[in-house]
Amino acid sequence: MIIVIDALNKHLFSGVLDEMFRLRARVFGDRLGWKVNIQDGKEIDEFDHLDPAYVVGLDPDGHVVAAVRALQTTGPHMLADVFSDILCGEPPIRSATMWESTRFCVDTQRLNRSKDRHSVSYATCELMIGSLEYARRSGIKDIVTVIDPVMDRVLKRSDNAPYDYVGQTVPMGKVPALAALLDTSEERVDRVRKFAGICHDVFLSDDEALALFNSKRVVSFPEQGRSSRSDTGELTALEAYFLEQIRAAETDSELKAIYDLIDALPREISAERKTVLKSYPNSLAREV
């Protein structure tokens, strides 16, 4: 499940970003041995202060399991200002229709090595699909990405092979680094979807992503009216979020929109729990 975080909505997702930066520290600092700046367990560099876009993958439990950063190439970016040795003296690529994709990482500790929805392979392909589709919808035709040889092989195995490379491969930390070019064509996205068996829309709305991320916290069911624990059991934060929205609804259309959102989350809330939520009286919810 993919969420896009940029300058317009990043104030809503500070918790998601913190978890993403911690994941980056483990991957690029600890595992790959890159010379990155890590403070308080988070890897943040100067390009994170330029309001880039982040494409972030969440697992069904609301944890950040994958992420990648997108930067415009018309301004400062890593290939031009950090990895310039790759370019062999050639000028950096600058184009209004090309983004730089960097800091692609997946949580190999939380994910497994099988082929299910909790696997490294699934999260990797879902992030590829999300980043390519987001770029294409934003008018971007090509992506230049700084990767290591392992990621290059992952791209090729996922039927997402680069169409070309830039410059040369140079040493960096424990692994070499190289720059690859990817188009954002529908054909490329379709190939990755077919490889991974992902047919559905991978994107979450801001409200869905916030509810899912916050669902990691468990709270008690409110002790009001007929809402007994014996009837409903423990209430997760995701369910509490919807109760808060029901309580705040002022019109029938607003209430219907909340019910539609509940129905749109087939995996996070069981059918039985959905029935409990939607049968919870709006007047009673206002008292919670």
Q: Which element (helix H / strand E) includes 47?
A: none
pLDDT category, 214, cuts 50, 70, 90?
Answer: confident
**Is position 55 within any domain?**
yes
* Helix, coil or strand: residue 119: strand
Q: Residue 250 belongs to what domain range?
A: 237-279
pLDDT of the residue at 215: 73
Whether the CB-CB separation of 64 and 43 falls below 8 Å is answered with no
pLDDT of the residue at 251: 76
Q: Which element (helix H / strand E) includes 68?
A: strand 64-72
Report the domain count for the chain: 2
pLDDT of the residue at 282: 46
- CATH label of the domain that carries residue 59: 3.40.630.30
In angstroms, the first-to-last Cα distance of the chain is: 31
**Looking at residues 152-156, what average pLDDT do you find?**
93
pTM to 2 decimals? Answer: 0.74
Spatial neighbors of 235 by CB under 8 A, at least 6 apart, are 218, 219, 220, 221, 222, 243
Query: Both 269 and 174 in a single domain?
Result: no
pLDDT of the residue at 262: 83
pLDDT of the residue at 266: 63
Lowest pLDDT segment from 12-26, 82-96, 158-172, 211-225: 211-225
Query: How confident is the model over 229-288, as pLDDT tens digits?
Result: 333 345 676 777 777 777 777 777 778 888 888 888 766 677 777 777 777 654 333 333
pLDDT of the residue at 231: 38
Query: Both 26 and 134 in a single domain?
Result: yes
Q: Compute the distance between CA of residue 142 and CA of residue 120 in angstroms, rounded to an integer.
A: 25
- AA letter at 39: Q
For 60, the token pair is: 């069904």
**Is position 66 within any domain?**
yes
Query: Both 191 and 246 in a single domain?
Result: no
pLDDT of the residue at 287: 34
